[in-house]
């Protein structure tokens, strides 16, 4: 006889066809379920997803099979330093989506996989109940069940083997009773929780399929939830006649702690070069006394592993880190891998820099811009291994001085594979270290930096000011696979970015942008004291740089200036620390408000509901109807509920999902804690 080749219609011999089937792996003839769409996963498992200690890792997957059989799906998980797997059953969430979760209780890598199998016993029990309801005979079906249970008894060990064998015998007796017209005992045995549990412990895995092993990196809690305060140490002096020191920064710690910040970020504290030093406002002309840019690192006093002599000593730095830690504050350092022309490496390692045909070293530049005070490192050098090792030594050096958080300057201008090596290399020994990526660049590049290990990332938040922009951007960050690895850190301002919105607005705009940054994202930061003192004068019309930028000169800040936003910052951060809803991004949901200049959203956690309404134009009054999705918030629409504004203490009593809201420059945002009756 002959067979038709389904690919081309050619006639082939039966022996050839049988030979083709014989080449099919044995497992392929038995495996039936399909496991796909696993989350969290990054590039199909090439990179680990992200979690934080104490946070549940929610695993979902699309799991299905041919026919109508029931499935048994199990999630297996383990820490990376253990070999024993722990398991938990997955639940059917609808539309072939299955889910389960596990909690990571230690830093470092964790692994998980999914096993899915057709469940003959659950299928049999389901069909048995359907046949009983239809009044069909059950005697033969009970014998089928008895055979399944007996097979499980043969696989089982210990007390389960005896229990299952006894249940198999009971089903055979029940089959005889059913034949005589009494199926009650058989149905009761089939529904027995004890039998169900024993069968789940000893499943028939001949049809099972296992997913690949996926990885999750568990970071410290600060990776998920943090509030950053940026401060230039040389501007921390309370005395206008002298620049600040690390001791002055230490003296200002109570102020930072009082604002509620848990991360104090210091721009580079290293010696600053004098060759081609920039003057005020970035001028190429440097006057006597101009301190230069902290990012022009290196002088005769040292390089990346030295402290500017004017700032103090390592004893001062170590004391600052220690005192900050006692207040619950992490000191974050800037990791800027560039050098001034005076950096010791320029002489010691000329092979690490790119030389032009005339023998000079190329300056850092972004044509037509040139940064004559900075030499970029040449990552294309044939001596890249020694360069990489030395840069890692810089990180490890500061870790040795108690630093556990780094803000990395322009990582997208260095090879992506350098970071893919450096960050895991550091975290292998120091899993509690966090890296914030300062890469305002193309989306795919920003995302890839997060994939290869950056703990948090700056974002486009500063430039998202319209309602549709914010809503679409946040949905991308929260509701897509990006959320598995990209942790956003929202900044309304930085020393480099004074957005037009802040320039043209008043106090109300600053408050609104603060509330948005601090509640849309579980991590946010401000450049202070410029922010709380509402500094908003640009260097020139159309510029996003500050006039009299601290990048190029020492500033003295009057922290007691009237109108400071310090009380608002304290209130916002107090709300963030008090409410678990604001310490994560997974539950962010937008609600409809009938005005394009008003935005509303909520975040929820068990027993905690936060609702935010903010103005997107706090220069004038805006009002409209807010329509809350009460089902999503877990509120009975027939009962009243109370909203407590955590910014000013006001309380509102609402009923139903639709209510009137109005915001103006004096009250540009509501930060509501929603309290249903009895809460």
Q: What is the pLDDT of residue 22?
A: 64
CA neighbours within 13 Å on the CB side: how many for 224? 23
CA distances to 6, 21, 24, 25, 303 from 12, rounded to whole Å, are 10, 13, 18, 21, 75
Quick: pLDDT tens for 377-410: 999 999 999 999 999 999 999 999 999 999 999 9
Which pLDDT score, from 0 to 100, does residue 12 have? 40
* H or E segment to which residue 418 belongs: helix 416-429
pLDDT band at 677 (very low <50, low <70, confident <90, very high): low
Q: Which of 366, 388, 369 is nearest to 377 (CA)?
A: 388
Host H or E run for residue 355: none
State the pLDDT at residue 7: 43
Rounded to an integer, what is the distance from CA 309 to the centroid of its chain?
38
Using the predicted structure, report yes or no on whether residue 579 has a pLDDT greater than 80. yes
Integer angstrom CA distances of residue 437 from 250, 427, 591, 636: 26, 16, 31, 43
Contact 495, 461 (CB under 8 A): no
What is the reported pLDDT for 366?
79
Strands 369-371 and 364-366, by their bridges, are antiparallel
Nearest alpha carbon to residue 373 among 485, 285, 460 = 285
- Helical pair 467-479 and 507-520, crossing angle rounded to 10 deg: 20
Cα 620 to Cα 607: distance, rounded to the nearest angstrom: 35
Q: Which helix (H) or strand (E) holds 604?
A: strand 598-605
Could you tell me the CA-to-CA distances from 104 to 53, 78, 99, 463, 548 in Å, in that order?
Answer: 5, 9, 17, 35, 47
Q: What is the pLDDT of residue 575?
A: 98
5 pLDDT above the threshold of 60: no
Radius of gyration of the chain (CA): 32
Would the pLDDT of 467 be above 90?
Answer: yes
Identify the CATH homologous superfamily for domain 589-675.
Golgi alpha-mannosidase II (2.60.40.1180)
Residues labelled as active-site residues: 409, 438
Spatial separation of the C-alpha atoms in residues 208 and 152, rounded to whole Å: 15
Instruction: Tell me the three state secondary structure of residue 600.
Output: strand
What does the block give as tokens for 481? 């696979």
Question: Could you tell me whether strands 338-339 and 364-366 are parallel, antiparallel, or unpaired per DSSP bridges?
Answer: unpaired
- Specify the pLDDT at position 18: 56
Distance CA 348, CA 403 (A): 27
Structure tokens at 677: 């009756």
- pLDDT, one tens digit per residue, over 508-546 is 999 999 999 999 999 999 999 999 999 999 999 999 999
In this structure, the strands spanning 369-371 and 622-627 are: unpaired
Question: What does CATH list as the number for 120-201?
Answer: 1.20.58.80
Contacts of 21 (CB under 8 A, 6+ apart): none
Q: What is the pLDDT of residues 295-319, one digit of tens each?
A: 999 999 999 999 999 999 999 999 9
Cβ 668 vs Cβ 569: under 8 Å:
no
Question: Six-digit token pair at 2?
Answer: 């002959």
Query: Of 289, 271, 270, 269, which is closest to residue 279 (Cα–Cα)?
Result: 289
Structure tokens at 371: 């940064």
Averaged confidence pLDDT in the chain: 94
Angle made by CA atoms 516, 517, 522, in degrees to the nearest 5 = 115
Per-residue pLDDT, 31: 79
70-84 pLDDT, tens per residue?
999 999 999 999 999
List pLDDT tens digits, range 174-192: 999 989 889 899 999 999 9
Give the model's pLDDT for residue 676. Answer: 75
Residue 573 burial by CB count (10 A; 0-12/13-18/19+): exposed, middle or buried? buried
Residue 251 has, within 13 A of its CA and on its CB side, a CA count of 11
**Mean pLDDT score, 396-425:** 98
- Write 299-303 long-range contacts (CB < 8 A, 24+): 299/271, 299/272, 299/273, 299/274, 299/340, 299/342, 299/343, 300/271, 300/342, 300/344, 301/271, 302/270, 302/271, 302/344, 303/270, 303/271, 303/339, 303/343, 303/344, 303/345
Average pLDDT estimate for 130-134: 94
Region of 302 (left: φ > 0; alpha: ψ -120 to 50; beta: rest) is left
Query: With 50 as the cut, is the pLDDT of residue 679 above it?
Result: no
- Structural domain boundaries of the chain? 31-118+211-218, 120-201, 589-675
> Distance between CA 216 and CA 126 in Å, rounded?
36
Query: Whole-angstrom distance between the N-terminal and C-terminal Cα of the chain?
Result: 77
pLDDT of residue 206: 84
Class of domain 31-118+211-218: mainly beta
3-state secondary structure of 257: helix
Q: What is the distance between the alpha carbons of residues 464 and 471, in angstroms, rounded to a whole number?
A: 9
Taking 60 as the threshold, does the pLDDT of residue 10 lie above it? no
Q: Which residues contact 54 (CB under 8 A, 6 or more apart)?
A: 103, 104, 105, 221
Strand partners, 667: 664
**Closest by Cα among 567, 570, 592, 572 to 582:** 572
pLDDT mean over 560-578: 97
142-170 pLDDT, tens per residue? 999 999 999 999 999 999 999 999 999 99
Mean pLDDT, residues 281-288: 93
pLDDT for residue 157: 94
User: Higher-confidence residue: 366 or 348?
Assistant: 348
């Amino acid at each position: 006889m002959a067979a038709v080749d389904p690919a081309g219609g050619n006639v082939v011999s039966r022996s050839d066809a049988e030979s083709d089937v014989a080449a099919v792996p044995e497992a392929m003839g038995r495996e039936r379920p399909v496991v796909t769409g696993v989350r969290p996963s990054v590039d199909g498992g090439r990179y680990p997803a992200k979690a934080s200690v104490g946070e549940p890792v929610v695993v979902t997957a699309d799991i299905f099979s041919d026919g109508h059989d029931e499935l048994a799906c199990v999630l297996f998980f383990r820490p990376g330093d253990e070999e024993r797997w722990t398991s938990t059953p997955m639940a059917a969430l609808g539309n072939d989506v299955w889910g389960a979760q596990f909690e990571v209780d230690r830093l470092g890598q964790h692994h998980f996989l999914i096993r899915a199998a057709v469940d003959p016993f659950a299928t049999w029990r389901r069909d048995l109940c359907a046949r009983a309801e239809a009044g069909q005979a059950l005697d033969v079906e009970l014998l089928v069940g008895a055979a399944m249970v007996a097979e499980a008894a043969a696989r089982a060990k210990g007390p389960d083997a005896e229990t299952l064998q006894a249940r198999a015998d009971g089903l055979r007796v029940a089959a005889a009773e059913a034949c005589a017209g009494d199926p009650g005992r058989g149905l009761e045995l089939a529904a027995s929780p004890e039998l169900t549990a024993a069968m789940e412990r000893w499943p028939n895995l001949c049809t099972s399929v296992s997913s690949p092993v996926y990885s999750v990196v568990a970071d410290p809690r600060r990776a998920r939830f943090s509030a950053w305060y940026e401060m230039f140490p040389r501007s921390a002096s309370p005395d206008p006649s002298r620049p600040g020191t690390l001791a002055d920064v230490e003296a200002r710690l109570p102020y930072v702690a009082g604002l509620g910040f848990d991360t104090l970020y210091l721009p580079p504290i290293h010696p600053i070069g004098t060759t081609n030093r920039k003057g005020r406002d970035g001028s190429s002309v440097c006057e006597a006394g101009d301190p230069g840019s902290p990012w022009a690192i290196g002088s005769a006093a040292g390089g990346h592993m030295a402290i500017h002599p004017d700032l103090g000593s390592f004893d001062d730095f170590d004391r600052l880190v220690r005192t900050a830690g006692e207040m619950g504050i992490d000191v974050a350092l800037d990791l800027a891998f560039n050098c001034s022309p005076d950096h010791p490496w320029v002489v010691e390692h000329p092979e690490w820099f790119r030389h032009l045909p005339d023998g000079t070293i190329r300056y850092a530049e972004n044509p037509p811009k040139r940064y004559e005070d900075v030499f970029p490192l040449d990552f294309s050098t044939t001596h890249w291994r020694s360069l990489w090792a030395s840069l890692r030594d810089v990180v490890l050096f500061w870790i040795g001085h108690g630093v556990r958080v780094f803000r990395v300057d322009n990582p997208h201008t260095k090879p992506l594979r350098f970071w893919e090596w450096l960050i895991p290399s550091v975290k292998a020994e120091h899993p509690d270290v966090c890296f914030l990526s300062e890469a305002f660049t193309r989306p795919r590049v920003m995302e890839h930096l997060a994939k290869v290990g950056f703990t948090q990332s700056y974002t486009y938040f500063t430039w998202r000011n319209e309602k549709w922009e914010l809503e679409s951007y946040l949905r991308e960050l929260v509701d897509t696979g990006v959320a598995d690895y990209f942790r956003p850190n929202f900044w309304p301002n930085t020393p480099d970015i004074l957005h037009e919105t802040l320039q043209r607005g008043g106090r109300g705009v600053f408050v609104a942008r603060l509330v948005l940054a601090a509640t849309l994202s579980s991590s946010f930061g401000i450049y202070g004291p410029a922010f709380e003192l509402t500094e908003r004068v640009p260097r020139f019309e159309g510029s996003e740089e500050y006039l009299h930028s601290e990048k190029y000169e020492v500033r003295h800040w009057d922290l007691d200036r009237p109108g400071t936003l310090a009380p608002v910052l304290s209130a916002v951060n107090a709300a963030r620390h008090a409410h678990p809803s604001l310490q994560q991004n997974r539950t962010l949901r937008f609600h409809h408000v009938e005005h394009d200049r008003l935005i509303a959203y909520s975040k929820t956690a068990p027993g905690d509901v936060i609702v935010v309404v903010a103005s997107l134009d706090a220069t004038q009054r805006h009002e409209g109807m807010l329509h809350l999705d009460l089902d999503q918030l877990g509120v009975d629409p027939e009962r009243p509920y109370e909203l407590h504004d955590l910014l000013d203490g006001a309380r509102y009593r609402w009923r139903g999902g639709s209510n009137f809201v109005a915001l103006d420059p004096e009250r540009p945002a509501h930060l509501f804690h929603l309290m249903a009756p009895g809460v």
